[in-house]
Amino acid sequence: MCTAWLLICLLPAAYCLLAPPTLYAQTPTLGELAKREAERRKAITTPAKVITGKDLPKAAKPVPPAAPPADQKTAEQKAADAQKAGEKPEEKDEAWWRARMTQAREELRRNQAFADALQSRINSLAADFASRDDPFQRAKIDDDRRKAIGELDRVTKEIEQTTKKIADIEEEARVAGVPPGWLR
């Protein structure tokens, strides 16, 4: 009985000691892999072809975007109208694009700051409303709070419009081929 237990304990221990070297012997070492790769590279006689922009076929013309709403004119329509009227089209250089984007971002920043201030005022009025017992004072505070909430809704819509305006300017600049650095 003692030998059976001895075999049960010694066989797994012997397997654990002898099995790993045989498993590791099957995988190549890093040095062997490096030698094989060096031989493979020597066997290659022609270098791989480098693909450049000249090798690629010309892209098809982009699909024109869907028709814009009737009340908005595209940049091409404005330029065509200016030429029909005998005027010189507006020169859109880096300063023009930078000023346009800066103005839109400044408007967005002002609206966001105003929205934060309005939210702070609404929170203050709500706390003030909860702490008052006089019905007349509560009615006045509630009226002020409702006006501030209405103003916050208006400013939030302006923020959404300005964000859309910035995205439209970026898209217009992309279509016109303006470098992205001009809009930063």
pLDDT score, position 72: 54
What per-residue confidence (pLDDT) applies to 67? 54
75-84 vs 135-176: helix crossing angle, rounded to 10: 70
pLDDT of residue 147: 94
Alpha-carbon distances, residue 175 vs 34, 64, 108 (angstroms):
50, 11, 23
Q: Where are the domains of the chain?
A: 92-183
SS3 sequence of 7-26: HHHHHHHHHHHHHHHHHHHH
10 vs 147: CA distance, rounded Å: 86
Cα–Cα distance, 67 to 136 (Å, whole number): 56
CA dist., res. 91 & res. 140, Å (int) = 54
Alpha-carbon distances, residue 54 vs 1, 49, 58, 60, 147 (angstroms): 83, 13, 9, 15, 63
* pLDDT, average across residues 41-59: 78
Global pTM value: 0.49
For a pLDDT cut of 90, what percent of the chain falls above it? 39
DSSP 8-state class, residue 106: H
Report the pLDDT averaged over residues 142-155: 94
**Domain 92-183 adopts which CATH fold?**
Helix Hairpins (1.10.287)
Q: Report which of residues 56 and 171 the model is more confident about.
A: 171
**What number is the average pLDDT over the span 70-97?**
63
Number of neighbouring beta carbons within 10 Å of residue 183: 19
Tell me the pLDDT band of 51, cut-offs 50, 70 and 90: confident
Q: Which of 108, 72, 78 is nearest to 92 (CA)?
A: 78
pLDDT(161) > 80: yes
**What pLDDT is recorded for position 176?**
86
pLDDT digits 0-9 by tens, 96-146: 888 999 999 999 999 999 999 999 999 999 999 999 989 999 999 999 999
Burial class (CB in 10 A: 0-12, 13-18, 19+), 155: buried
